[in-house]
A = this chain, B = another copy of it.
């Protein structure tokens, strides 16, 4: 489209606070080593500012700042230290915490300052006047030392709604003392887009200074609030990769960037970087060890996944009718989910996605469609089990599923006795043929599936030591048709990794053990096949 867009020609500075505010997320605990991996990824993405932490206040952050200086050369980003205005009743010059910000040698210092009079009086326990003096003194001191100083006006929106004059005086004080930007923070995350738009617009009428937005997602509107602020004139957006952060998270930076660039015409990242978004966001989640959220806009694994059914052929012919943007613009991809309504078109697309070309093989397509239908009627699901689907495709293609081993028998049990007490004992015995030998191995575990997994690996790793690197990372059980009580069919979905890739397999059986067994075997076979191992 050549229609003019609301932000054509506008540049928005992207300020990443993953390493500081994002790390406040429940269950996240970034080490210095983690931060040293994440910071270059953020730079590669092309954000304008990377906030590294709070040197002087948090020892880990002090150490990190020391190492960044020596070990990382940023290509694009400037590096920011986060800290607070000086203590009440002292001088910035004498404040240990403020000095530590200078000592960090970061080019940018971001100061959190209070702008809600209630927080000044009830949390900081000082006067409105002293708070303004703290802002003026600390900003002027750091600016005098040659730093770019950004002021994060904490609780600005709540403060403005309660007492606009005081909130504005905090902002004006910061600008007067030399702050380059004042960032309006929705610290509690409760704003709605109209409110943000109204308040940012009102502030713009009073001040020419550069404004930023820092939103949290407590009302589910962090992305929309950030965009509303930019449309009202803010030119810096703070947020986190993957929307990390305390409570419901900070604003999801990549969703905002994608909206601003692709839909509104703004410039946020250097040319070509947005196409790296999916890869980089997933790489960051490898480091944080927080599983990527499949439904995340733009970069989630499901973001362009269609359970197409009836529409598969229309999607193939005319994908733009069914997606809001071209997924390659953010480095993602359209995926067809194979489901009950699987048609030939979606199986063919899926095959292509898995690197298996089925064009001109209508008889294979026909057989696969039939197998999928029968399998799904029996309880299988392939939309979350790509590896099992790929194995089935290869089998139908020309018996390409390799035979690495043969399981003669297995047995798994749990025993509990009140005499022993505590947990029961789980064990499993597997008799397996591989590499011309027969292995009988017994595994233990904290449950029968775990014991069976151990026994299988014990039996196979003498012939295929490669499987020692395989790690089971996710295990899901589902009872289908629960109206039959314990007689229901059980479906198990497993995710396995070799440290680099993750693959998913499915098993169905009359009980959890038989279903798990099937999924475990598929996981081993697919892992070996993917690694290019020949049957021994």
Would you list which residues of chain A between 225 and 273 have a CB under 8 Å from chain B? 225, 227-228, 231, 243, 246-249, 252, 255-256, 258-259, 263-264
Which of A122, A407, A448, A516 is most buried by chain B, counting CB atoms within 10 A of its CB? A448
Task: Classify the interface of chain A: helix, strand, loop or mixed.
Answer: mixed
Chain B's nearest CB lies how many Å from the CB of A348?
A: 19
- Provide the A2-40 mask, 1 if CB < 8 A to any CB of B, else 0: 000010000000000000000011110101111000000
- Provide the A390-413 mask, 1 if CB < 8 A to any CB of B, else 0: 000000000000000011111111
| Interchain CA distance A411-B294 in the complex, whole Å | 38
* Chain B residues with CB under 8 A of A482: 31, 33-34, 474-476
Select which of B248, B381, B472 is within 8 A of A27 by beta carbon. Answer: B381
The reply to whether B409 and A416 form a contact with Cβ atoms under 8 Å apart is yes
* Chain B residues with CB under 8 A of A511: 414, 424, 426, 446-450
| A314-B123 contact, Cβ under 8 Å, with A415-B411, A418-B408, A483-B291 | yes
| A477-B475 contact, Cβ under 8 Å, with A295-B247, A408-B418 | no
Select which of B33, B219, B223 is within 8 A of A481 by beta carbon. Answer: B33
Chain B's nearest CB lies how many Å from the CB of A496?
A: 9
Q: Does A445 belong to the interface (CB within 8 Å)?
A: yes
Q: Does A210 belong to the interface (CB within 8 Å)?
A: no
The reply to whether B477 and A324 form a contact with Cβ atoms under 8 Å apart is no
* Chain B residues with CB under 8 A of A474: 482-483, 485
The reply to whether B409 and A415 form a contact with Cβ atoms under 8 Å apart is yes
| A243-B295 contact, Cβ under 8 Å, with A227-B192, A472-B485 | yes
Q: Does A346 belong to the interface (CB within 8 Å)?
A: no
Q: Does A512 belong to the interface (CB within 8 Å)?
A: yes
Which stretch from A305-313, A349-357, A364-372 is at the chain B interface?
A: A305-313
* Chain B residues with CB under 8 A of A178: none
Select which of B416, B419, B485 is within 8 A of A473 by beta carbon. Answer: B485
Chain B's nearest CB lies how many Å from the CB of A362?
A: 23
The reply to whether B409 and A418 form a contact with Cβ atoms under 8 Å apart is yes
The reply to whether B447 and A306 form a contact with Cβ atoms under 8 Å apart is no
Chain B residue nearest in CB terms to A24: B307
| A446-B263 contact, Cβ under 8 Å, with A188-B322, A295-B248, A314-B123 | no
* Chain B residues with CB under 8 A of A307: 24-26, 246
- Interface size classification for chain A: 35 or more
Q: Does A221 belong to the interface (CB within 8 Å)?
A: yes
Q: Does A384 belong to the interface (CB within 8 Å)?
A: yes
Q: Does A337 belong to the interface (CB within 8 Å)?
A: yes
Select which of B248, B298, B413 is within 8 A of A412 by beta carbon. Answer: B413
The reply to whether B409 and A447 form a contact with Cβ atoms under 8 Å apart is no
Chain B residue nearest in CB terms to A489: B446
The reply to whether B486 and A450 form a contact with Cβ atoms under 8 Å apart is yes
The reply to whether B487 and A450 form a contact with Cβ atoms under 8 Å apart is yes
* Chain B residues with CB under 8 A of A322: 188
Select which of B29, B297, B381 is within 8 A of A220 by beta carbon. Answer: B297
Q: Does A325 belong to the interface (CB within 8 Å)?
A: yes
Q: Does A105 belong to the interface (CB within 8 Å)?
A: no
The reply to whether B383 and A26 form a contact with Cβ atoms under 8 Å apart is yes
Q: Does A437 belong to the interface (CB within 8 Å)?
A: no
The reply to whether B324 and A218 form a contact with Cβ atoms under 8 Å apart is yes
Chain B's nearest CB lies how many Å from the CB of A336?
A: 11
Chain B's nearest CB lies how many Å from the CB of A43?
A: 20
The reply to whether A123 and B449 form a contact with Cβ atoms under 8 Å apart is no
Select which of B33, B220, B411, B516 is within 8 A of A483 by beta carbon. Answer: B33
* Chain B residues with CB under 8 A of A311: 123
Chain B's nearest CB lies how many Å from the CB of A327?
A: 10
Q: Does A490 belong to the interface (CB within 8 Å)?
A: yes
Which of A155, A224, A291 is most buried by chain B, counting CB atoms within 10 A of its CB? A224
The reply to whether B324 and A26 form a contact with Cβ atoms under 8 Å apart is no
* Chain B residues with CB under 8 A of A119: 321
A-B contact pairs, 29 of them (CB 8 A): A6-B194, A24-B307, A26-B383, A26-B384, A27-B381, A27-B384, A118-B321, A122-B318, A155-B321, A189-B324, A192-B259, A219-B258, A219-B263, A220-B224, A220-B256, A221-B227, A223-B224, A246-B302, A249-B295, A289-B478, A291-B483, A293-B293, A407-B418, A447-B513, A450-B511, A472-B485, A472-B486, A475-B488, A486-B516
Not counting A122-B314, A426-B510, a sample of 10 additional A-B residue pairs whose C-beta atoms are within 8 angstroms of each other reads: A192-B263, A194-B231, A219-B258, A247-B302, A248-B302, A410-B416, A411-B414, A412-B415, A446-B487, A450-B487
